[in-house]
Amino acid sequence: MNNTSTPLCKWLALSLLIVVLDQLSKYIAQQHLGYAQPLAVMPSFNFTLLYNRGAAFSFLSDAGGWQRWFFVTVSLLASIALVIWLSRLQRQQRRLALALALVLGGALGNLIDRLWLGHVVDFIQLYYRHWYYPAFNIADSAITIGAVLLIWDSLRARREAR
C-alpha cells in the first residue's frame, strides 16, 4: 500500500462502518418493532418501523415500482462517483473526505435495502405535538450530516479563496 492510498482506505472503512451500523440497526428494528406501531423512547422521539419505496420524504413512493430500479441506478452511479472523488482528494482535505465518506456509507446502506427488500427500512421518528417528521434511519442521518459538511466545506473554501 502506497502512501497516497492510506487515506482512501481510512475513508472507505468509515463508509463500511456506516453501512454495518445501518444494516444492523435496521435488522434489530425489523425483529423487535411492529410495523407502524410507535415505541416511545422519550418525548418527541419514537422508534417506528416503516418502509419507504421512494426517496427522501417518500418522494415517488407510489410510482408503481419502476422507482426502485431508478433509485438503485442513481445510488450505484453516485457511489461510484463518490469513490472516485474520494480517491482524488489530497491528504489535507479531511473535512471533504469525511463528508463524502458519510454520504457514501449512507447511500450504500439504503442501496442494500432497495436491492434486497425493494424498499428502505426506516425506524427513527421525531415529532412535536401533532407534527411528525418523516421516519428515517442511520443511513439517512449519515447522508444528511455528510451533505451539511459538504456545504460547510464549500463555504469555507470560497471564503479562503477570497
Supply the residues annotated as catalytic.
Answer: 122, 140
Per-residue cell: 110: 439504503
55 burial level (CB within 10 Å; 0-12, 13-18, 19+): middle
Q: Can you tell me the distance from the alpha carbon of 3 to that of 9, in angstroms, rounded to the nearest whole number?
A: 11
DSSP 8-class letter at 135: P
Residues 6+ apart with CB under 8 A from 46: 38, 39, 40, 125, 127
